[in-house]
Chains A and B, each alone.
Chain A
């Protein structure tokens, strides 16, 4: 009797089916990161080995990401239950198209940044664990993109946060400690808000599995508590994503660490917040999100306008880029303000807008990483990153200046580069969604950012070297900054290859965008109609 009831219970709660080998692709990105991170930690004192191990590790990560993307593109969302527990009891890892796209792009920029880091991160910081922290952070980022459990998402947020803390303070300059203090406190409060919201969510739904929540939220009669939940999640995610008015930690900290660290942060960390906002608000609570759309519209518009004005006011190359990140976040947030995707009226706005927002996120990950890396090269060549003192880079390094010009065009959203098409989609969606003022704010912020970018290029690259900063002060300064800006010049292959790879992605995505649009369209459809996602978790049980 006892054995019968046990097997009956087991049959109800556990699955005995074996996992197809290709389905292990779901967890491979996380496993690869932690394996290599741990291995690098063990060879902590063999600083010379770090790049030799880390670069193949990042190649493995990208290969695992590509396998996952291929698996999801050919077979739809794929789920793996931890420990063989059936949903909704076990922790689910579910990769759908949006998660797969994000994780692949993250792997791509991590590889580029890793190659760049081998040229630019000095031995002492490798010794303090640059590469282990990098893998830890990438593990957190990849985990956040593929998890199907909302508490697990919180845990991945914390994992990537602790990795980013380590990277942020490597070097222990005064600026770094100052910036890190603000970054750490605000991000900790942001993730604590996430935890609070998750506690309430568990109290309301009694489940933490996202597919299960999506079903239960749809069936719920009294939706008042869901509004509270949605607002709490929105506040915590916009804190992570640096949306207005919770953005001030980003310009306070992102220009303080190594350039390569800034590049990774700007590319990946804010986008994890955006990803989580899209996942939770658009997939789990779509009707409630649609009711609160005016709030999100204001947040999106103010974020991008604030970012554009901030970018105009900066006289430091990296601090200008900090604000360019914020403009991008505002653009992606536009998707939260679009009318709901009910069949018929308004359906077009959401499907075009969501596809555009995901494409914008992909573009923003690549182009922001590339810009910070390029800023590192520029600062190394000029010996400073202040626009008051830079100059003459066009004459000395025309190829590098051309790369920078392409990237600045892309970040401003000018054709024919990758920033153009997502903006077209977002403007089209806002006009179709009857939000012309939001379309106008996208265009105005893009225009202001174009002015700011053009000024950066004119001052830093186009003009001859300012006479004032020449002579004695300059030599003295170079000695100081040589330590701080240990980037490699573009003549070194290790810094040129990643820049050229990122730049060619920007060009290809701008000139030949259809393959990317097909992917992001599929991703958007997967969020608007999560039925395949839910089926993949429950395996057709319900």
Chain B
């Protein structure tokens, strides 16, 4: 199970990195989504895939009666999901605003902040 998940994680990372290397922002956004999910799955696998019983203590008992799944990676993933989701929402709006404002989603042509023809500083006065 862990080996299989490793391959899934690797495939997700490969696709995410490929998309992030694109110069079009819309593809980079898709890459960010996949990257977030790849990381979540990676944390999950790192917590070891063990018993599938949910980590819930039944009524009347003080400790789990049987071996249960590791809850900590799930807590970490939950945090990471919330963060990556809110970041994705922000990036989506930012990318749309940038597209509206700069008339392009090609990062090679986004040179407003760093114009190409600025030239050297004056060498004397």
Contact = CB atoms under 8 A, between A and B. Distances in A.
Contacts of A199: 39, 42-43, 46, 76
B63 A155 contact: no
Contacts of A177: 94, 97-98, 101-102, 112
Nearest to B123: A455
A195 B39 contact: yes
B20 A189 contact: yes
Contacts of A195: 39, 43, 80
Contacts of A74: none
Interface in B16-59: 20, 25, 28, 32, 35-36, 39, 42-43, 45-48
Given A9-B63, A203-B47, A158 B83 contact: yes
A251 B121 contact: no
A432 to B, nearest CB: 38
Contacts of B80: 195
A189 B35 CA distance: 9
A23 interface: no
A179 B120 CA distance: 21
A192 B48 CA distance: 21
Interface stretch (A168-176, A284-292, A352-360): A168-176
Interface string A172-199: 1011111111101100110010011011
Nearest to A169: B94
B112 to A, nearest CB: 4
Contacts of A169: 94
Interface residues on B, range: 35 or more
B121 A192 contact: no
Interface residues of A, number: 50
B121 A459 contact: yes
Interface in B78-104: 79-80, 83-84, 86-87, 90-91, 94-95, 97-98, 101-102
B125 A202 contact: no
Contacts of A188: 32, 87, 91
Given A178-B98, A181-B25, A316-B118, A192 B112 contact: no
B88 to A, nearest CB: 9
A452 B98 CA distance: 33
A255 B113 contact: yes
Interface string A234-253: 00000000000000000111
Contacts of B87: 158, 161-162, 184, 188
Contacts of A458: 125
A391 B39 CA distance: 52
Contact of B120 (A182, A315, A466): A315
A315 B113 contact: no
Nearest to B87: A188
A165 interface: yes
A202 B43 contact: yes
B114 interface: yes
B97 A196 contact: no
A477 interface: no
B95 A181 contact: yes
A313 B120 contact: yes
B113 A388 contact: no
B100 to A, nearest CB: 9
A138 B32 CA distance: 26
B62 interface: yes
Contact of A5 (B35, B62, B107, B114): B62
A6 interface: yes
Interface string A105-118: 00000000000000
B43 A174 contact: no
B10 interface: no
A387 B121 contact: yes
Contacts of B28: 185
A453 interface: no
A2 interface: yes
Nearest to A201: B46
B122 A202 contact: no
Contacts of B111: 178
Contact of B101 (A174, A185, A203, A315): A174
A189 B34 CA distance: 12
Contact of A252 (B45, B83, B91, B114): B114
A387 to B, nearest CB: 5
A9 B61 CA distance: 13
- Which of A6, A176, A181, A251 is most buried by chain B, counting CB atoms within 10 A of its CB? A181
A178 B79 contact: no
Contacts of B114: 251-252
Nearest to B32: A188
Contact of A180 (B48, B62, B73, B94): B94
Given A199-B39, A203-B46, A315 B118 contact: yes
A314 interface: yes
A463 B111 CA distance: 31
Interface in A30-77: none
A151 interface: yes
B125 A463 contact: yes
B62 A9 contact: yes
Contacts of B113: 175-176, 178-179, 182, 252-253, 255-256
A157 to B, nearest CB: 10
Contacts of A151: 76, 79
B25 to A, nearest CB: 7
Interface in A125-184: 151, 155, 158, 161-162, 165, 169, 172, 174-182, 184
Given A175-B112, A202-B73, A315-B119, 6 more contacts: A9-B63, A177-B112, A181-B94, A195-B39, A313-B121, A391-B125
Q: Which 4 A-B residue pairs are closest in the complex by CB-CB distance?
A: A203-B46, A315-B121, A199-B43, A178-B112
21 contacts: A151-B76, A155-B83, A158-B87, A161-B87, A172-B101, A174-B101, A174-B102, A177-B98, A178-B102, A181-B25, A182-B107, A184-B90, A184-B94, A188-B91, A192-B36, A195-B80, A199-B43, A202-B43, A203-B45, A203-B47, A203-B48
